[in-house]
Structure 1
Amino acid sequence: MKNGNKIIVIVLIFLNIGCSSRKKNILAETLNSQKEEIKRVMDNPNAFELQIIYTHIKRNQKNEVKFKDYTYNLNAKNYFYPASTVKLPIAILALEKLNTIQNTSINTEFSIGDKPRKFKFSEEISKIFAVSDNDASTNLLEFIGFDYLNNSMIKKGLSPFRVVHRLSSPDSANPITKPITLYKEDNSTMNLPPLISEPNKPLLLKKLKKGIGYKYDGKVIKGPFDFSNKNYYPVETLHNTLKRIVFPEVFKEKERFHLTEKDREFILFSMQNLPRNAGYDSNQFPDNYCKFFMFGDSNVSIPDDIKIYNKVGDAYGTLIDCAYIVDVQNKIEFMISATILVNKNEIFNDDNYEYEEIGLPFLAEVGRQLYQRNKKNKSN
């Protein structure tokens, strides 16, 4: 009898091992694909400084969400330039700060410095997500200030993170913001003085110095390009920002963004909105202009039943996308964030990168395969 019990225990152990081994890691399956778009990157992933995090989303009978994360080569200490992905927290925290001021809303207008032009918060946020407008993010950053942005992220557990410069803006690293005038909804105005931020300290990370040269003032300078005084937004922090704005109920109160539900819904709407639906010329700004996963290598129209809530970035040969992808009809949902460097000649700032040849096809195919595998698993 004792021997019989031992056999039963052994059989159960093997059954459990078999069950656990059958649990699919569809990120690993996707990255093992023999499709050329993926294989040519995965044959030498270190050369592309690839980092990925994929989140499987499971809902119980109460519709409560649970996350299961799968990662590839994730390391916050390995620096990559975050480019326009920093606009995601800028947009969110602009509304969070605005909520602390009475008689304001997403439709409140503001002006910057002594210039008469007025901007509307809702319109600037729409520009950020529809076409990744640099001026719009700079305008909101003048309102927020660097310290408010950085400290708010850290307080919510979204670290490491830092933004120390504007994007494609003159005097981009000036720590002093411009004065702001708010035009409140009770017809009063509110003058906000310039904000002086903490001095910038060089980053202490790996892979801060990249390449063999960089272009400056029309000339190629020999030696690596130094990113130690640039913005810093690692993949996991970016991905966790997305989780908080999509599923705030999963997080503690202190970890959430303090937005009204109306404001949060506006952010989400803007994130999935396509350029053509935001008033832009579809010839200049096709559907995939800011949608790298699934559609980055194709100018086809994105189907109405597929919603991609995301923020992309591209600069210095680096592509980043952070997305919550939903198929409304087939009830498929998952999250995926990734960064890839495509700079074969190792010269930075020369606008000679393999975005179209390697980077976008890779991200698009990864997105498509994750979608198809989720769809297949849903039907099984």
Structure 2
Amino acid sequence: MIKKIPQRLNCVFLINILIAFSLFSCTEKSKINPLEKALASEDIRIKRVLDSLEQYELQIRYTQINRRNDSIFFTDFDFQVDPNHYFYPASTVKFPAAVVTLEKLNKLDSINRNTKFYIEGDSTETTFAKAIQEIFAVSDNKANNRLIEFLGFDELNKSVRKCGISAIRISHRLSTSNADDVTTKPLIIYINDSTTSSSKKLINASPRNLQMQKILKGTGFYNEDSLYQEPFDFGLKNFYALTSQHELLKRIIFPNHFPEKERFNLGKNQYEFLLNAMSTLPKEVGYNEVEYYDSYGKFFIYGDSKEPIPNHIKIYNKVGYAYGTLTDCAYIKDTKNNIDFMVTATILVNKNAIFNDDNYEYDEIGIPFLAQLGRELYDIELKRKR
């Protein structure tokens, strides 16, 4: 005869099993989570950030890449990632501008990326290819703004969102007097050496205030020479979530992993050009090596050093830094050791909580943290069994 276990004991037994399972799961997860392992480093460059975490508004997404036959598998690991937690994206918005420029050129028969042009009112002649190279090599603001005049904000945002990347709103140019002007300037385009054509002005929708967490930051800010003792409002600034940056990078590095509707309309030649631009070092396109050292625009692994980056390490990335916020979105590939991984991270280093005063701890805390984070993850990848 089987004795019936009292209902109360059944409940206690079930709860104990669930607790044990939960503890086991947490323990197992902590053992295998490489991002947690990297952040548990005793290195002072990591530890001082983790010990005072709240002030740094840190977000990280790290992706392990595994291959089986012809298939690629991504495993994402997150730390404090929240698309509704605002951070200023700075120059990282130049990456989607470059991608969408190449996509738009696909639709036009009369011009291509090597077509010469200049912006009305600006005598500097350039090409779309050169502007994109300048964006990645030295993060040139003027090059980015020229692409904005070509695209307009509405088309740029729409083109990214159609690929399933929704958390983006580019609404202004960078470091220029007409940053917020919703009307673009015409491009004067060279059809041939003696014939030019003028593009039409584009009138974009006026941006609305972002409704997000942390949209008000700090305790004060400077406007020209005046200090205002109130939080700085980022409501009308550019928005480009960390998740969106990481997803755009995946679509560029591994386009065939995504369904066609989530890819950008780029040909093989354009992908190759873009990847080459993303990994090109400043010296390789003629910039002075002393001023524009290898890691000038590469924070992970090498950001706190001016030594040359080894030839077998390729970093395809876009960094941004402004208003005390440092961000890097990177695909890192080591051809000698046959490893590759992705990491996107953002950190705020503004100890005095005053914005626009050019008093930020970029070199003291921010870049050393990102460089060491890259090294910790790289070391984990070197030891990881595949």
TM-score by length of 2: 0.91
In structure 2, the residue matched to 1:204 is 211
Mapped pair 1:24 → 2:32:
yes
Q: Is the 8 A contact 2:30 2:36 kept in 1?
A: no
SS of the counterpart of 2:168? coil
In structure 2, the residue matched to 1:55 is 63
In structure 2, the residue matched to 1:268 is 275
Mapped pair 1:351 → 2:358:
yes
Q: 5 Å matches for 1:228-239?
A: 228-239=235-246
In structure 1, the residue matched to 2:149 is 142
Q: Residue deviations 1:88-110, cap 9 Å, x none?
A: 00011111111110043221111
SS of the counterpart of 1:101? coil
369 and 186 in structure 1: CA distance in 2 versus 1, 3 angstrom threshold? same
AA at the equivalent of 1:321: D
In structure 2, the residue matched to 1:106 is 113
In structure 2, the residue matched to 1:7 is none
SS of the counterpart of 2:32? coil
> Within 1, Cα distance between the matches of 2:184 and 2:229?
34
> Within 2, Cα distance between the matches of 1:20 and 1:77?
29
In structure 1, the residue matched to 2:247 is 240
Aligned length: 365
In structure 2, the residue matched to 1:4 is none
Shift of 1:181: 2.5
AA at the equivalent of 2:36: A
Q: Is the 8 A contact 2:65 2:340 kept in 1?
A: yes
1:33 maps to which of 41, 50, 58? 41
1:172 maps to which of 174, 179, 182? 179
> Within 1, Cα distance between the matches of 2:349 and 2:371?
15
In structure 2, the residue matched to 1:336 is 343
AA at the equivalent of 1:40: R
Q: Is the 8 A contact 1:106 1:263 kept in 2?
A: no
Q: Residue deviations 1:16-72, cap 9 Å, x none?
A: 97996596211110011111100111112221000000000011122x211110000
SS of the counterpart of 2:327? strand
Q: Is the 8 A contact 2:102 2:266 kept in 1?
A: yes
AA at the equivalent of 2:246: H
Q: Is the 8 A contact 1:142 1:180 kept in 2?
A: yes
SS of the counterpart of 1:173? coil
Mapped pair 1:45 → 2:39:
no
182 and 19 in structure 1: CA distance in 2 versus 1, 3 angstrom threshold? same
Q: Is the 8 A contact 1:104 1:185 kept in 2?
A: no
**Any gaps of 5 or more consecutive residues in structure 1?**
1-9
In structure 2, the residue matched to 1:70 is 77
> Within 2, Cα distance between the matches of 1:172 and 1:334?
35
Deviates more, 1:23-32 or 1:272-281: 23-32
> Within 1, Cα distance between the matches of 2:30 and 2:84?
33
AA at the equivalent of 1:361: P
Q: Residue deviations 1:233-277, cap 9 Å, x none?
A: 010000001000110001111111111111111111011111111
> Within 1, Cα distance between the matches of 2:293 and 2:124?
29
67 and 185 in structure 1: CA distance in 2 versus 1, 3 angstrom threshold? farther
> Within 2, Cα distance between the matches of 1:103 and 1:185?
10
Mapped pair 1:316 → 2:326:
no
RMSD: 2.0
Deviates more, 1:203-212 or 1:218-227: 218-227
> Within 1, Cα distance between the matches of 2:26 and 2:45?
32
2:161 maps to which of 131, 136, 154? 154
SS of the counterpart of 1:370? helix
> Within 1, Cα distance between the matches of 2:114 and 2:272?
14
SS of the counterpart of 1:343? coil
Shift of 1:168: 0.2
340 and 272 in structure 1: CA distance in 2 versus 1, 3 angstrom threshold? same
222 and 108 in structure 1: CA distance in 2 versus 1, 3 angstrom threshold? same
SS of the counterpart of 2:240? coil
Mapped pair 1:181 → 2:176:
no
> Within 2, Cα distance between the matches of 1:303 and 1:25?
28
> Within 1, Cα distance between the matches of 2:213 and 2:360?
22
215 and 323 in structure 1: CA distance in 2 versus 1, 3 angstrom threshold? same
SS of the counterpart of 1:38? helix
Mapped pair 1:377 → 2:380:
no
In structure 1, the residue matched to 2:311 is 304
Shift of 1:190: 3.7
Shift of 1:165: 0.3
AA at the equivalent of 2:44: E
117 and 342 in structure 1: CA distance in 2 versus 1, 3 angstrom threshold? closer
In structure 1, the residue matched to 2:3 is none
Shift of 1:153: 1.1
AA at the equivalent of 2:277: S
